[in-house]
Amino acid sequence: MEFKRLTITLEPQEGLVTFNAFKVALEELTIMLREIESEVSESRRSQLKWGIAELSLGSATVGLENLSEEVDLAQRTATTLIKGLKVLAREKTRPDYFNDTALESARKLAKLSDDGISRINVYSNIPELQLYFTEQIAVNVRDILEHLEYLGSVEGLLELISGREGLPLYFQIKDIVSGNLVRCFFPEEMLGNALGAFRKRVIVSGYIQSDSSGNPRRIRVRDMEIAPKTENLPQPTDLIKGIEGYRFKEQFYDLGKTET
DSSP SS3 for 15: coil
Residue type, 128: E
Residue 260 pLDDT level (bands cut at 50, 70, 90): very low
Residue 167 CB neighbours (<10 A):
8
Beta strand pairing call for 60-66 and 50-56: antiparallel
Lowest mean pLDDT among 87-96, 117-126, 162-171: 162-171
Query: For residue range 168-216, what is the model confidence (pLDDT) as tens digits?
Result: 899 999 999 888 889 999 999 999 999 999 999 999 999 998 876 778 8
Q: Is the pLDDT of residue 106 over 70?
A: yes
User: Whose CA is closest to 48, among 61, 63, 60, 30?
Assistant: 30
Lowest mean pLDDT among 32-41, 104-113, 161-170, 228-237: 228-237
Q: Is the pLDDT of residue 230 over 70?
A: no
pLDDT recorded at residue 251: 56
Distances (CA, A) of 203 to 55, 157, 235: 48, 9, 20
Most confident of 12-21, 27-36, 226-235: 27-36
DSSP SS3 for 218: strand
Residue 6 pLDDT level (bands cut at 50, 70, 90): very high
pLDDT recorded at residue 168: 86
Residue percentage of the chain with pLDDT more than 70: 87
Residue 184 host element (H or E): strand 181-185
pLDDT recorded at residue 10: 94
Q: Is the pTM of this model over 0.85?
A: no
Q: Is the pLDDT of residue 15 over 90?
A: no
User: Whose CA is closest to 25, among 95, 121, 94?
Assistant: 121
Residue 243 pLDDT level (bands cut at 50, 70, 90): low
Q: Which long-range contacts (CB under 8 A, 24 or more apart) does 138-143 make?
A: 138/107, 138/110, 138/111, 140/88, 140/89, 140/91, 140/92, 140/93, 141/88, 141/103, 141/104, 141/106, 141/107, 141/110, 142/107, 143/92, 143/212
pLDDT recorded at residue 108: 93
Position with higher pLDDT, 137 vs 244: 137
